[in-house]
Chains A and B, each alone.
Chain A
Amino acid sequence: MKQLLRILFLSLLLGASLARAELVIEITEGAEGALPIAVVPFRWKGDPASPPPQKVGRIIAADLHRSGYFKTLPESEMLAFPSTTAEVDFRDWRALKQDNLVIGEISPNGPGGYTVNFKLFDVYQGEQLMGYSFATTARDLRAIAHHIADLVYETLTGTPGAFATRIAYVVSEGTIDKPRISLRIADSDGYNSQVIVSSTEPIMSPAWSPDGRKLAYVSFENGRPAIWIQEVFTGKREKITHFKGINGAPAWSPDGRFLAMTLSKDGDPDIYIMDLTRRKLRRLVRHWAIDTEPSWSPDGQNIVFTSDRGGSPQIYRIPVSGGGATRITYENGYNARASYSPDGKLLTFITRVGSQYRIAVMDLKRGSMTVLTDGRLDESPSFAPNGSMIIYATRYRGKGVLSAVSTDGRVKQRLALQSGDVRDPVWSPYYK
């Protein structure tokens, strides 16, 4: 039931606009020992003259391939195209050295409706591992495909998939004198890109609410920075703060009731927490230095932030209840914009190595830091909701692009927008 609700909700999210892919994803480094899997094109059982608008099997294969943990078999190498258990001859797939096999069918289900069923097999054991059937509409076929990819990923890796999620990001187009800035969201595979808000003035620092239904962001559209909260699906929005000075770096508490932010209304940039119901502000950090970029621990007990109180930007942690701040980073002369992994065990942040800005993770228990990327200007790291990947902004051939790296650094992918500079990415949570 819960799953059904989630799918229903996902359907709502997708909206009517099935835009062309604007983000092109390219795997730049795959994992050694990726699992071989064959995803057979799903068979259409309806009128051959009006096939479904999406190639469900291909979307699933592309998701699994993109994760870097699967090696998908090209359709051209397949010896057979089964769509039912009876049609599967496991010898074909063993000959092709496939560990796993996904088959499926799509049937008409009333006007504009479809039923999608799929099965996942272990080729060597010759047994079915999983099988489901979903009723859906044309509009939601991509969402269903991502959901199936999530189920396959979880069954085979033990980690929930994060394909049926979205990313928010900022695009700058136009010229330096006449920029057009827009905050957009897209599916995690880059499809269904939609503009959330656009302006000729800067827009920055998008942050998803924990239920994935709202975005907080900073917009200079009225000539000064203000923090806004916007409902993603209705477009309804509200200005939350527009104090004198900085209104920046919004960050939702894990329960969605509070918004941490940076304000400089009382002098220097400090961290404040707003109770979103009562609209009351509390100053959490009070220091003459720069204090900014708050981010909550998943248990809601602590906030990490960037401060230059020690002479250079470093990461500090402070209990939400107040008290003293503890310095967390010591390595390298510049560490900023930290955020927690979903399990709270890791932090990701920007670090300066020589003169290059790169993405690092720190194991909080051991205090050890690993640099994951090798760019010159990597920034804005954000964990996928399953903790498997970190999305970040980097530069490639003179353009701002988004990249993702697995938390262990083994898999890298690049998401290139066809025009404009892309930056400030943030991965959505799971939709609740």
Chain B
Amino acid sequence: MKKIRLFLLPFFLGVLFLSGCGSTGPTEGEEGAAGGTTVGGAGSAETSAATAGGAWSGSPLDDPNSPLYEKVIYFDFDQAEIRPEFLPTLRAHADYLINNPSARLVIEGHCDERGSREYNIALGERRANAVKRFLEAEGVSPLQLETISYGEERPAVPGHNEEACAKNRRAELVYQ
């Protein structure tokens, strides 16, 4: 669980950073390059990414300039449909998973605090499954993917206004 908390904070900082300097972020080409060099199998992803990027010496998953850096997607109220703006992020993760067959991803489904707790567990699972199905449709092996729903039990941000609710209705991608 610590993993999520650790990456959430940089994520929100990252959003600020990206929006401050033009929000298009890394280009498709960079994605391809990072992905291409990782075809080497287990364990090689981190080191080869360093040489490809030139500037980043860790996993592309931790590179603030990589679309893989984004690991949270948000949902509308009581909905589990993936909003179009998150498709590029999910496609980048699909490519990464395809090129790194040993990578394992847990997709966590979360909800805001409104409504009943157990219904929200079911809704969170529906969100996680929507992401899982999308990744599978992109060609990711089901064996690399797991889902878990936390419903409203693990909010990302405190607070009870619409802004907080919007940040809590989410799926988080947690690499193992």
User: B-facing mask of A377-393, CB < 8 A → 1, else 0?
Assistant: 10110000000000000
Which B residues are CB-close (under 8 A) to A245? 125, 147
Q: Is A246 a contact partner of B121 (Cβ separation < 8 A)?
A: yes
Binds B, one of A43-51, A89-97, A198-206: A198-206
Which B residues are CB-close (under 8 A) to A324? none
Q: Is B118 a contact partner of A293 (Cβ separation < 8 A)?
A: yes
The answer to the question of A252 belonging to the interface, with a C-beta cut-off of 8 Å to chain B, is no
The answer to the question of B116 belonging to the interface, with a C-beta cut-off of 8 Å to chain A, is yes
What's the nearest-Cβ distance from chain B to residue A265, in Å?
11
What's the nearest-Cβ distance from chain A to residue B78, in Å?
8
What's the nearest-Cβ distance from chain A to residue B125, in Å?
6
Residue of A nearest to B123 (CB): A290
Which B residues are CB-close (under 8 A) to A380? 116-117
The answer to the question of A337 belonging to the interface, with a C-beta cut-off of 8 Å to chain B, is yes
Which A residues are CB-close (under 8 A) to B158? 176
The answer to the question of A262 belonging to the interface, with a C-beta cut-off of 8 Å to chain B, is yes
Q: Is A377 a contact partner of B114 (Cβ separation < 8 A)?
A: yes
Which A residues are CB-close (under 8 A) to B38? none
Contact among B115, B125, B157 for A176, CB-based, below 8 A: B157
Q: Is B122 a contact partner of A290 (Cβ separation < 8 A)?
A: yes
Contact among A200, A264, A352, A377 for B160, CB-based, below 8 A: A377
Q: Is A249 a contact partner of B154 (Cβ separation < 8 A)?
A: no
**Residues of chain A at interface, number, CB under 8 A:** 36
User: B-facing mask of A285-321, CB < 8 A → 1, else 0?
Assistant: 0000010110000000000001000001100000000
| Bound Cα distance A202, B116 (Å) | 15
User: A-facing mask of B1-33, CB < 8 A → 1, else 0?
Assistant: 100010000000000000000000000000000
Which A residues are CB-close (under 8 A) to B122? 246, 248, 262, 264, 269, 290, 292
The answer to the question of A168 belonging to the interface, with a C-beta cut-off of 8 Å to chain B, is no
The answer to the question of B58 belonging to the interface, with a C-beta cut-off of 8 Å to chain A, is no
Which B residues are CB-close (under 8 A) to A293? 116, 118-119
Contact among B5, B125, B151 for A264, CB-based, below 8 A: B125
Residue of B nearest to A289 (CB): B122
Which B residues are CB-close (under 8 A) to A379? 115-117
Contact among A246, A336, A352, A423 for B149, CB-based, below 8 A: A246
| Bound Cα distance A424, B1 (Å) | 23
| Bound Cα distance A10, B115 (Å) | 35
The answer to the question of B155 belonging to the interface, with a C-beta cut-off of 8 Å to chain A, is yes
The answer to the question of B81 belonging to the interface, with a C-beta cut-off of 8 Å to chain A, is no
B residues near A (Cβ < 8 Å) are 1, 5, 78, 113-119, 121-123, 125-126, 147-151, 153-158, 160
A residues near B (Cβ < 8 Å) are 176-177, 200-202, 204-205, 220, 224-225, 245-246, 248-249, 262, 264, 269, 290, 292-293, 306, 312-313, 334, 336-337, 350, 352, 357, 377, 379-380, 395, 398, 423-424
A-B contact list, 10 entries, CB within 8 Å: A176-B155, A202-B154, A204-B151, A225-B149, A248-B121, A269-B125, A293-B118, A313-B116, A313-B119, A337-B118
